[in-house]
Amino acid sequence: MMRAFVVAATLVWLPACSFDAAPAPGNTTVVVFDVPKGSSARGIGDELAGAGLVTSASNWEWFLRLGADGSCLKAGKHRATPGMNAGELLAALCGPPVPDDVPFTVVEGWRAKDIDAALVEKGLVKPGEYLEASQRGSDYRAGYALPAGGLEGFLYPETYLVSPGDFTAKAFVQRQLDLLGERFANTADTGPRSLEQVVIVASMIEREEPSPANRALVAGIMWKRLDAKWNLGIDATSRYTLADWNDEKAFLKQLFDPAEPYNTRLRPGLPPTAIGSPGQRSLDAALHPETTEYWYYLHDATGTIHPSKNAAEHDRLKRKYL
C-alpha cells in the first residue's frame, strides 16, 4: 500500500503534459542531431536540451519513464526540429540516420544565379533548378512578409550542411528563408520602411562597401538620398543583370542605358529587387543607418571610402582619387 501511495503522490507533482511538449511549437528549423554509438535514450537528455530539441533533460527522462520505448534509438545523424514534441522526436531518432552531410557556403553578395551555379558545380542540382525554385515567394512559408515574385536578397548567406542524397532546391530555399527569419526578419523593427526595402538597401551596401565598419555610414547616405528623391547613383545595381558581374564592357553599356530598370544613376528610387544576398552586417547597417552630413561617397584604389558633403567636394575627390 505504501508503494502505491508513493507512486500516486509522485504523479501528482508532475507538470501536466509538459514532459512531452515541443520546446518551440511551430519552429521548423532543421537541427541535425548526432546520436553517438552506444548511447541510451535517457543518456542523451542533456545533449537534446542543449540542442533545443526538448524542454529539459528531466522532462525527456520522465517521457521515457512513463512508457516511451527508447530502445529503438539508432546511432548516427538525425534531422529534427524544435517544433517536434517528444514522441515525434523519439520517432525521428529511431528512424534511419541521414547520410553524412557536406558543407555548402552561400557567399555574402551572391545573386540567386550565382547560388544556382555553385550548386550545379557541387552536383546538387541541375542548371537553373535552384534559380527557378527561388522565383516564387508564394511557394514558401515565413513569419515575415515575402516578395510575391522572386526571392532575391532573402536567400540568407551562410554555410549550410546539406545531404547530397536527398537535396532539393525548394527545401534549401526554405532553409535560407527560415534562417533569415531567425537571424533578422522575425525581430527586425523596420519602422516606416518595409522589410523588402531594407533588404534591397542591404544588398547594395553588401556590394558597395567592403569594410563592415563603414556600412552604417553608406546606409545613411543611401537612405538620405532616397528620402530626398535623389537618384541613388549606385553602380553595382547596373551589374546585377550581367551574366558576368565583372564584365566591364557590358557594365558600361548598362550604365548609360536609361531603359535598364536597375540603372540607379538614371532612374529614381530603389532598383526593382535586391541585387544579391546581404550578410548580417549589411542587414544591420541598413536597419541602423548612421546619420551624417554626407550626401556622396567614393572609394579610392585601395578600397578606402571618401564621403563628401556636396557635389563640388565630391568632384574634387574624384579628381584626386579616380
Under 8 Å between Cβ of 86 and 106: no
pLDDT category at 5 given cuts 50, 70, 90 is very low
309 domain residue, yes or no: no
pLDDT category at 1 given cuts 50, 70, 90 is very low
pLDDT in tens, 259-292: 999 999 999 999 999 999 999 999 999 999 999 9
314 domain residue, yes or no: no
**207 and 278 assigned to the same domain:** yes
60 domain residue, yes or no: yes
pLDDT at res. 17 = 52
**120 and 79 assigned to the same domain:** no
**180 and 257 assigned to the same domain:** no
Contacts of 169 (CB under 8 A, 6+ apart): 119, 125, 129, 130, 132, 133, 134
Contacts of 118 (CB under 8 A, 6+ apart): 104, 106, 110
pLDDT in tens, 51-109: 999 999 999 999 999 888 989 999 988 989 999 999 999 999 999 987 778 899 999 99
pLDDT in tens, 171-228: 999 999 999 999 999 999 999 999 999 999 999 999 999 999 999 999 999 999 999 9
Domain count, the chain: 3
Q: Identify the domain containing residue 70 by its residue range.
A: 12-94
> pTM for this one?
0.73
**208 and 156 assigned to the same domain:** no
78 domain residue, yes or no: yes
**180 and 201 assigned to the same domain:** no
**140 and 180 assigned to the same domain:** yes
**207 and 285 assigned to the same domain:** yes
215 domain residue, yes or no: yes
pLDDT at res. 14 = 47
CATH number at residue 82: 3.30.1490
